[in-house]
Amino acid sequence: MTHSIEPFTRDDRPCLRLVRSDGASAEVSLHGAQVLSWKTSPDRERLYLSPNASRSAGGAIRGGIPVVFPQFAGRGPMIKHGFARLLEWQPGEMNVEEAPTAILELVDGEQTWPLWPHRFRARLQVSLTPSSLTVQLEILNRGEEAFEFTTALHTYLRVRRLPGVSLTGLESHAFEDSARGAVTTAATHVPVRFEGEVDRVYPDAPHALTLHDDERVLGIEAEGFRDTIVWNPGATLAASIGDLGAGEHLRFVCVESGTVVAPVRLAPGERWRGVQRLSERTGA
Ligand SMILES: O=P(O)(O)OC[C@H]1O[C@H](O)[C@H](O)[C@@H](O)[C@@H]1O
């Protein structure tokens, strides 16, 4: 069997399914260019998608890999996390030769100008490499004035047992604690664990992290992105979020590669690229 990329519909939304000859697969929605599923084998889903995720045309989808652009969270005047996750992207080039690779694009237009008066092209490239998923976001300034943006790949990683989950690689780094008024907090010198709400921004964070979920191990590498965001809403907040629900916080952690503290500035004609790579290391 060879690799393939096929269109299909999920919850009334046009999507692409990438399949590797070794059985790995990924699904990407044109809505938001959002990766909704990554399976390293047919029965091994690695991403979390909420069973209560919005199915409405213009809504944000809770789970997978939302593309946050051109504003992270409330760090600016725009709607939370910007508009990229709310709009329909266009399918671009596809390649199934070495690794199934799909490109989706969003360019500025009447929908974006009222929100952000800049001329840009965003391109998301999703590649299904052996035991790994590589997602690259490229932003081009196609206008005549410089602009600034913040951005992130807001990855929801599925976990089997939240109390058995730890994230290593950030132990010696201070962070902004968004769950406690963004107060700067000294390095903890222990792996991140998820007991209650965790909402942290690690500025200029290391670019190789490891998520342990009991015996399962996942590598998270970033290039081009400066910061790392770690989020789990905890029980109380999860229960109050309509498209999550009681108990859903037990099924994921977000480990986000972003540039959110100091915005990226692009001169006319300039491009910026950020990559997040998820790699299955070991475990059943
Ligand atoms: O609910 P959303 O708009 O998708 O945002 C979900 C979360 O995104 C990031 O991880 C932020 O750090 C959190 O503060 C936020 O709650």
Q: Best of 254, 256, 259, 261 to mutate for ligand 1, by most ligand atoms within 8 A of CB?
A: 254
Atom 12 in ligand 1: residue holding the nearest Cα: 199
Give Cα 232 distance to the centre of its chain.
14
* Residue 32, C-beta contacts closer than 8 angstroms, at least 6 positions apart: 60, 61, 66, 67, 84, 85, 86, 87, 89
The pLDDT of residue 1: 67
Q: Computed from CA positions of residues 114, 120, 126, 132, in that sequence, does the dihedral angle turn out positive or negative?
A: negative
pTM over 0.95? The answer is yes
Ligand 1 site: residues with CB under 6 angstroms? 60, 73, 80-81, 154, 178, 199, 229, 231, 254, 256
Q: Summarize pLDDT for 179-196 with one digit per residue, the tens.
A: 999 999 999 999 999 999
Rounded to two decimals, the ipTM of the complex is: 0.96
Rounded to the nearest integer, the mean pLDDT of the chain is 96
**From CA 283, how far away is CA 73, in angstroms rounded?**
34
238 CB-contact burial (10 Å; exposed 0-12 / middle 13-18 / buried 19+) = buried
- Provide mean pLDDT across the span 228-241: 98
pLDDT tens-digit readout, 136-178: 999 999 999 999 999 999 999 999 999 999 999 999 999 999 9
- Distances 55 to 8, 31, 61 between C-alpha atoms, Å: 16, 11, 7
pLDDT at site 130: 87
Q: Which is higher by pLDDT, 25 or 1?
A: 25
* 8 Å CB contact between 218 and 278: yes
Instruction: Kindly list the structural domains of the chain, giving each domain's residue range(s) and its CATH number in brackets, ordered by start.
Output: 4-282 (2.70.98.10)
pLDDT given for residue 45 in this prediction = 97
Helices (H) and strands (E) in the chain, counts: 1, 21
pLDDT in tens, 255-274: 999 999 999 999 999 999 99
Percent above pLDDT 90 for the chain: 95
- Ligand 1, residue 154: give the atom nearest the CA: 10
Over residues 225-245, the mean pLDDT reads 98
| pLDDT(284) > 60 | no
Question: In terms of pLDDT, which residue wins out, 57 or 127?
Answer: 127
Give the span between the Cα atoms of 14 and 94, in whole angstroms.
16
57: confidence class by pLDDT, cuts 50, 70, 90: confident
pLDDT at 56: 85
CA of 73 to the centre of ligand 1 (A): 6
